[in-house]
Amino acid sequence: MFKYLNLFLIANGVFMKKIISILLSFVLLLAGAGVLCANGNFIQVYQNSIFSCQRELLIYEINNIGDITSAPYNFNLERCLGKPASLSGVCLDCTVEPPINLGQCKYTLSNYSCEIIGESFWLYLYYDGSGTITVNGRNFESSQYGSPIPFLLLDSHEGDLDPRVFEQIPSSVTISADGDFNPEGFGIVLERECCWSCIKKSPPVPILYPKVDIEAFSVAGGPSVIKDGKVLSAFEMSPGSQEVFLQVENRGFFTQNDARVRFEGLPQGVTVNVTPQTQKITAHNLGTYSAIFTLGSNVPSGTYQITMVAYSPNGIFDRITFDFVVP
């Protein structure tokens, strides 16, 4: 179990979230909890939130990847995308000090808002023989690294403290070898770990004025995402900035003096600036707003559900949820 502790600690010096994962695993094992589970998953439980790293076996081919001295072996890395339906593992009640081990448990996430806060890949490379093994351009001598050689691939900004730790997650991995190797002795094991922070959703605020409704969401020079209060299409956006126009209709008989618009459920790395921040909408009239969405280059591709909310300081008028697509 402690065979690769040195590499673990080096890697976790550049990725603080993984310190929690590894230390918790060892603390539980030393405390007599036994093996956490097949993949070492755990869940930290707080008052209104949970934190969990979920480890998954992706490839298990110990002696079955072919002769990489003749042709390189290549595979793609599938990133952690989208919120999982549930989290399972050993639960720790972190509302008390010290935390209490609750044993195996499972959380369904339908009532939680989750974001990915860390991901990494663990690669174990098996070989039989001697020579040089190359992984994504880095050379490793069999005289220095015994089989299997462990590798950690993760996104960090601290630099590679060990040649087996890659500071950026590549889209693919290429492995080759040169030397006196058994051509049938090459194999790999690949695991992925996704770390999630999930906050329990608050009960929906009751609608204040049923006759103040979201009317439109249209992209400047592009399609209408919402028209007449109905979702027509997804909002697709590439990294950069995009202007959109919003409308809220006051179908009631009273002036709304402080009508506002906001967006909920935006993925990390996406911001939106709505102008004006507030306006007066008289009876039977429309309020028009402009919004600038800014999408960072590090936002993973995928489909996210975001919600446009029309509201005032006293409560919510209307809300509409639609798909936000990052290609």
The reply to whether 58 and 171 lie within a common domain is: yes
pLDDT at residue 184, as a whole number: 92
Residue 133 region by backbone torsions, left for phi larger than 0, else alpha for psi between -120 and 50, else beta: beta
Query: What is the C-alpha separation between 91 and 72, in angstroms, rounded?
Result: 41
Positive or negative torsion for Cα 51, 53, 54, 58 = positive
Domain C-terminal end among 176, 200, 224: 200
Rg (CA), the chain: 25
pLDDT at residue 135, as a whole number: 97
Provide the residue range defining the domain that includes 305: 212-326
Query: Residue 19: helix, strand or coil by DSSP?
Result: helix
Q: Would residue 266 count as lying in a domain?
A: yes
What CATH number does the domain containing 311 carry?
2.60.40.2310
Closest CA to 128 of 200, 69, 83, 85: 69
The reply to whether 160 and 235 lie within a common domain is: no
Q: Would residue 51 count as lying in a domain?
A: yes
Q: Would residue 93 count as lying in a domain?
A: yes
pLDDT at residue 5, as a whole number: 38
Domain C-terminal end among 133, 167, 200: 200
Query: What is the C-alpha separation between 244 and 265, in angstroms, rounded?
Result: 17
The reply to whether 182 and 43 lie within a common domain is: yes
The reply to whether 186 and 236 lie within a common domain is: no
The reply to whether 41 and 82 lie within a common domain is: yes
The reply to whether 231 and 186 lie within a common domain is: no
The reply to whether 46 and 190 lie within a common domain is: yes
Closest CA to 184 of 278, 266, 69: 69
Closest CA to 213 of 308, 302, 110: 308
The reply to whether 130 and 16 lie within a common domain is: yes
pTM: 0.54
Cβ atoms of 109 and 218 within 8 Å: the answer is no
Distance from the first to the final alpha carbon of the chain:
41
Query: What is the C-alpha separation between 210 and 176, in angstroms, rounded?
Result: 65
pLDDT at residue 37, as a whole number: 34
pLDDT at residue 206, as a whole number: 61
Q: Would residue 205 count as lying in a domain?
A: no
Task: Convert 155-170 to b/e letters by CB count within 10 Å (16 or more is b).
Answer: ebeeebebebbbbebe
pLDDT tens track of the chain, all 327 residues? 333 334 433 344 333 334 433 333 333 333 333 333 334 688 999 989 999 999 999 999 988 899 999 999 999 999 988 788 899 999 999 999 898 999 999 999 988 999 988 899 999 999 999 999 999 999 999 999 999 999 999 887 665 578 999 988 999 999 999 999 999 999 999 999 999 999 998 876 665 656 899 999 999 888 999 999 999 999 999 999 999 999 999 998 888 999 999 999 999 899 999 999 999 999 999 999 999 999 999 899 999 999 999 999 888 899 999 999 999
Query: What is the C-alpha separation between 126 and 147, in angstroms, rounded?
Result: 5
Number of domains composing the chain: 2
The reply to whether 227 and 298 lie within a common domain is: yes
CA 41, 44, 46: angle at the middle one, nearest 5?
Answer: 160
Both structure tokens of 202: 């608050």
pLDDT at residue 130, as a whole number: 96
The reply to whether 173 and 228 lie within a common domain is: no
Non-local CB neighbours of 255 within 8 Å, separated by 6+ positions: 280, 281, 282, 283
Domain C-terminal end among 178, 200, 222: 200
Q: Would residue 207 count as lying in a domain?
A: no
Both structure tokens of 169: 């997650």
Q: Would residue 206 count as lying in a domain?
A: no
The reply to whether 156 and 256 lie within a common domain is: no
Provide the 8-state DSSP code for 186.
-
The reply to whether 225 and 194 lie within a common domain is: no
